[in-house]
Structure formats: C-alpha cells, structure tokens
Amino acid sequence: MSLGNKKLRYGIIGSGMMGREHIRNLLAIDNCEVVAISDTNAPSRAKSVELINGAVQFSDHREMLSTQDLDVVIIATPNHTHLDLLNDVLETGLHVLVEKPLCTTVDDCLLAIDRDRQTHRDGRVVWVGLEYRYMAPTARLLSEVNLGTCGKVQMVAIREHRFPFLEKIDNWNRFTSNTGGTLVEKCCHFFDVMGLIAQSRAVRVFASGDQDVNHLDETYDGKRSDILDNAFVIVDYQNGVRGMLDLSMFAEGSKNEQEISVVGSNAKLEALITESKIRIGLRVNGATGVEEIVVEQPRGVVAGFHAGASYLEHLAMQRAIRTGQPSLVTLQDGLNSVAVGQAAHLSIVQKRVVEISELFI
C-alpha cells in the first residue's frame, strides 16, 4: 500500500491547537493536501478552515471517514478520546498519525495495539506523535549517543522547566481522568527520548510530585482541577542506565524550556533545546575542553510550537508511507512512554517504588 509520488490526501480529526499545527506544517510540504477536517467544536472547525480553503468540514469523524477519499488521517483530539477514534480509523485501513499520549493508560494502549494487529494491512503506517525526538538539538544528541561519543551511557537527566498548561477546549486538560495525568500527558515525550538514549526498557520508577502552584483555584462543573505541576521521577532501565526527569510547570523564568544531559563512560553530552545547542565534554579534556555547538534547523522547517519537530515528523512519516517502510514511532513506543508516566503517577499517589511489570497484569 505504498503510495509512491501520489499527492497525499489528509483528513484531520480534532482541529484545536495541535490539529492546526499539523495543518500548518502540511501546508508547507509539497505533494500533500488537507482535504477534510472533523471537529465536534464549531469554533475549532472555523479556525482551521481559515487555514485551508476548500477543506470539507464534519462534526462527526465517521461521516468524514465514510464519505471522503483519504490516504492519511491525523487524530489530534483530547487524550481520552484517542482509543475509540483510533479504532475507527484502523478499521478503514488508512495510514494514521495519532497524537501522544497514545492513550491515557497502559490497558488502553494494549487495546490499541491489539486492534492494529486485528486490522493489519501490509504497508499501513501507524505513527504516534512523539515528535520531540525530531527537535534538532535532541536529534543531534541522539545521533552522538548512537555514534558512541559518550561511551557506555550510564545516566540520563531531562529537565523541563516551563509555563503552566494552556487553556484547552472544554478544559479537558485540567483533569487526570482525561489526560492520564501530567506525567503521561506531557512527559510521555521525555520518557520516549529517555528510552531512546538508554536503549533499554524501563523496569521500575520512583517519583515525588504534587499540584502545588497551578490551577489550585480552578473548578469546572463543581470539580477541582487535579493536575500535577511539579515532579522528580527516577527511572531504572533493564541495562542499568538510570534516568531522571525534573519537571516544573511554574518556571516561566527559565532560559531553556528543556535540557537533556547524558553521562557515559567517556563523556558528558548536553542538549539545550531553546538555545538549540549541544555540548560535548570528553572526560579526557576536562571542563576547559567542553565543546559547544549551535545546531541549525534543517532547511524548510516550520517552527510552530515544537521547534520544527512536527514538520520533520511529517516528512519522516511521508517517507515511510511512500516507500512502504514501517513506522519509526510505533504503537509500542507509545505504550512504553505511557507506561513510565503511569508508573510515575502511581508512585506519587502511593508513595512507593512501582515496577513497570505491575501495569501489565
């Protein structure tokens, strides 16, 4: 089912903030077009139709799927809707990108993986929107790790210090039941990158965190928002690598929204995401020998909210679709990243170490 040089026809389910980021990036890529959008919210539909003249609008994705001639579908709806929508798209056999987190729980991710197997089509690309791995400095750091620059990787630390969650349609992101919790919703990106650096499976997690500053006085339909806004998460990997995530969502005064450090037997590598730099410090060269390299964005990148990563994600997915190659960001990657986030959330609630295997019983 590879599509060679055909002009790819996209349908978008969910045209809120992220759906529109996808639309903007697809508009900047040759040989593809967004022909239909489906959103249950009229203002979201109107905003995306402003971007794409001529796209057909739907309020029900099933009508879009059954009436439109599509090649690729993007699901960019709230997290708790992903499983049902993905099931419907998988039935059609179309290529699909489902936004991160794949689902809000490990159980639902496993159901999605089952459904993919049951509806298998040769050459169908099913891709999860974990695009942080395509951010230029992160991609450069990953390539240095793969080249062996730091020797045997031992420690990975990722810091995200940023602004609070933005407002979303119907405030879906204010509740753990809709998002899977901050450590699933937001941090699945970082557990994905951490796993790629560790090159191993996470086996256990210990975390401390809380909702200390943000959204404390927000209630919706009488329910108070319950979103964690800071945490430290420690992850043990099967191969002995140790990972740590340091998350603060009330740190607007931070020069870099994300920083990654990797320490191995030969060197320390760092990625400073907002400054778009990496540092390479070989142990033999000491502190004065640390090399700082500015990482240029690849040509043609549309920055959007994610430093060009969504654009590069689409190029990579389209290459897979056109050449009949498998997805590079799989449902299994989606599951792995949700599992660490869910384990971290459970660790915070129950104040104990959580084995990843507990989530698969």
Ligand X SMILES: NC(=O)c1ccc[n+]([C@@H]2O[C@H](COP(=O)([O-])OP(=O)(O)OC[C@H]3O[C@@H](n4cnc5c(N)ncnc54)[C@H](O)[C@@H]3O)[C@@H](O)[C@H]2O)c1
Contact positions vs ligand X (CB under 6 A): 13-19, 38-41, 44, 61, 76-79, 81, 99-100, 129, 131, 168-169, 185, 306
For residue 322, the minimal CB distance to ligand X (Å) is 22
Tell me whether residue 204 or residue 337 sits nearer to ligand X (CB atom). Answer: 337
For residue 353, the minimal CB distance to ligand X (Å) is 27
DSSP reduced 3-state for 10? strand
Q: What type of residue sits at position 308? A: G
Using CA atoms, how far residue 16 sits from 25, 40, 75, 76, 201, in Å, is: 14, 10, 11, 8, 33
Asked whether 206 and 234 are in contact (CB, 8 A), the reply is yes
DSSP reduced 3-state for 277? strand
Tell me whether residue 23 or residue 76 sits nearer to ligand X (CB atom). Answer: 76
Tell me whether residue 61 or residue 159 sits nearer to ligand X (CB atom). Answer: 61
Tell me whether residue 11 or residue 264 sits nearer to ligand X (CB atom). Answer: 11
What's the residue count for the chain? 361
For residue 59, the minimal CB distance to ligand X (Å) is 8
For residue 265, the minimal CB distance to ligand X (Å) is 33
**Cα separation, 87 vs 65, whole angstroms:** 12
CB nearest ligand X: which residue?
Answer: 16
Using CA atoms, how far residue 334 sits from 24, 69, 267, 287, in Å, is: 24, 28, 30, 37
For residue 83, the minimal CB distance to ligand X (Å) is 11
Tell me whether residue 229 or residue 236 sits nearer to ligand X (CB atom). Answer: 229
The values of phi and psi at residue 300, to 5°, are 85, -5
For residue 101, the minimal CB distance to ligand X (Å) is 6
Tell me whether residue 71 or residue 313 sits nearer to ligand X (CB atom). Answer: 313
**Cα separation, 268 vs 281, whole angstroms:** 5
